[in-house]
Amino acid sequence: MAAFRRRTQLFQLISAVAAFCLLLLFFSSSRDAVPRREFQYVKSSFDWSTLAQQYPVTNLKPLPRGRPRKLPKVQHNFASDAKITPERAEILEDRQRQVGEAFLKSWNSYKKHAWMHDELAPVTGESRDPLGGWAATLVDSLDTLWVMGLEEEFYEAVAAVVTIDWSITKETSCNFFETTTRHLGGLLSAYDLSHEPVLLKKAVELGDMLYAAFDTPNRMPPFWLDFDKAKRGLLQAGDHDPSASVASSSLEFTRLAQLTKDNKYYDAIDRVTRLLEQTQNITKLPGMWPTFFDMKIDIENPEGPNSFTSDGSFTLGAQADSLYESLPKMHAMIGGLDPVYETLYRGAMDAVTENLLFRPMLPGHDDILFTGTISVLGESRKLDPEGQHLSCFVGGMYGLGGRLFNIPEHVKFGERLARGCFWAYDSFATGLMPEIFVMAPCPGLEPCPWHKERWKPEEEGLREGFKNARDPRYMLRPEAIESIFLMYRITGKTEYQEMAWKMFQAVRKATETDLAFSAIKDVKAKGETSKSNSMQSFWLAGTLKYFFLTFSSPDLINLDQYVLNTEAHPFKRP
């Protein structure tokens, strides 16, 4: 799209010398080597790299050595497909344009009403700071600006980002996971795409602050990074922390280590990975880990009494999601040089496939899947067929794992899961999926007879198959379109583009405000929706980016060249 993507222009070759010169010109002016800009860089007032650690590491675990393995291709070979017609190209360009317009509307309102704050309140125009006041929407959106070709806006945003002082906040602590995935991930991704050195400098500043979270007696990070305790060497790991929050920072710290050649970042997250490896098969559901972790665990004796051996709740939804999501992505991020991530993925997905996936009982026998929550008590395992928007990432995860580890049936599972989330979107009056819902499951993953008497809906007006929409909100989340995008890029099936377009139209219609777009309170609403005045940064960082990429040329963020973190930030693969 001319309006949203810069394209390098090559002049007609006149001679061999001219061709050589033009080739040099191409490499010096391409998106991988953009002209350098001058920025008024502001160094944070406290340098965390100078802080002496209370529990220092004597022998750092280095990044895996050696030449990255040649991994199986993730992305479909689009070059082998029939060339798209001019009419189809025009349709896709128009869809991309409309997504870009939604992004610009949101971005411009953020600039006008909430610049340098974390979020815009999209109904009232107020600013909010739930994430430390470090301009979360701005930092989170950097790579989306680049992907959409919004060069002027990108460099304006960079100029603002490099003035952030990570030591200036009204908070006494920060959420370790959110700050890592949104802020650190956003900076690293923007650097990988633009190669602006100042972005890496800012990422290192933040990385050093977040690295302090690992300075605990057993080197396990807490949920909250308390600044004062960290400076005094008093941090302790938590005893009931969401597993996703304390075990999902591997991509960001690995990429930071790769870019800086400083192994301390990789050493920090590798210790968490080794804990996962040690405990994977001693839990009440071998292969998976419980939803909450006691991170004060004695890592020398992981089989002793602790949360890993005693807790019985297992899910791919809220509190646990990105732990599992990161496993195949880390395999790609380190070029397959450590077999641990394949081992963890295969073990976890064997358990998920056998215990958590369910096919809903439906009158039309639609071939779709969802993932629920399972409780283990003694020898009994009870499945709660509760679907979550947050768990809609699972389809894409199965697809990635299926390709990277050559497991064709996982790609098929991924398709059925992605289609399930689209089906759920299409089942409500707004065309949007609720945050949480419950269905009536089949006994297995194959078709089962429809028994209306077993359905027993708890609310009126629900599509057959749904028992309730326990949390009817739609929060502008990216997980469903993430899986639709990934399955399109993995399979090449254009039907996923059509699903995406229907979803985008529904999102825009139900959530648009005068200023931007807002989460809504009830996806069952007929007519005007009730807005909750919330627009989290992932709307610009993830949801709109995935919509845009679904309609883009497949070479834009090619899945064989990039890994996208849980906040949709693309990192360059080695």
Q: Which of 196, 241, 262, 321 is catalytic?
A: 321
Start-to-end CA span in the chain (Å): 28
Local structure of 556: helix, strand or coil:
coil
Rounded to whole angstroms, how far apart are CA atoms 492 and 515? 35
Q: Which of 262, 386, 415, 479 is catalytic?
A: 479
| Tally of helices (H runs) and strands (E runs) in the chain | 22, 16
28: amino acid identity, one letter: S
Is 458 an annotated catalytic residue? no
Local structure of 114: helix, strand or coil:
helix
* Closest to 287 (Cα-Cα) out of 244, 377, 379, 349: 349
Residue matched to tokens 């429809």: 450
Sign of the torsion angle spanned by Cα atoms 145, 151, 155, 156: negative
For residues 196 and 154, the answer to whether their CB atoms sit within 8 Å is: no
For residues 445 and 412, the answer to whether their CB atoms sit within 8 Å is: no
Element (H, E) at 564: strand 562-564
* Closest to 375 (Cα-Cα) out of 385, 366, 383: 383
Q: Which of 151, 156, 171, 178 is catalytic?
A: 178
Instruction: State how far the alpha carbon of 363 is from the alpha carbons of 129, 366, 447, 455, in Å.
Output: 46, 8, 10, 10
Rounded to whole angstroms, how far apart are CA atoms 568 and 43? 27
Local structure of 128: helix, strand or coil:
strand
Q: What does the radius of gyration of the chain's CA atoms come to, in whole angstroms?
A: 23
Give me the residues paired with residue 242 across strands.
Answer: 292
Q: Which of 435, 482, 522, 567 is catalytic?
A: 435
Is 321 an annotated catalytic residue? yes
Packed helices 340-355 and 394-404: angle between N→C axes, nearest 10 degrees: 130
Is 435 an annotated catalytic residue? yes
The answer to whether the annotation marks 315 as part of a ligand binding site is: no
- Overall residue count recorded for the chain in this entry: 574
Most distant pair of Cα atoms in the chain: their distance: 79
For residues 447 and 369, the answer to whether their CB atoms sit within 8 Å is: no
* Closest to 213 (Cα-Cα) out of 43, 48, 327: 48
- 149: tokens are 């070709």
User: Dihedrals φ, ψ of 272, to 5°?
Assistant: -70, -40
Concatenated DSSP letters of 244-286: HHHS--HHHHHHHHHHH--HHHHHHHHHHHHHHHHHTTSSSST
Is 379 an annotated catalytic residue? no
Residue ranges at the known binding site: 566
Q: Which residues are catalytic?
A: 178, 321, 435, 479
Residue ranges at the known binding site for Ca(2+): 566
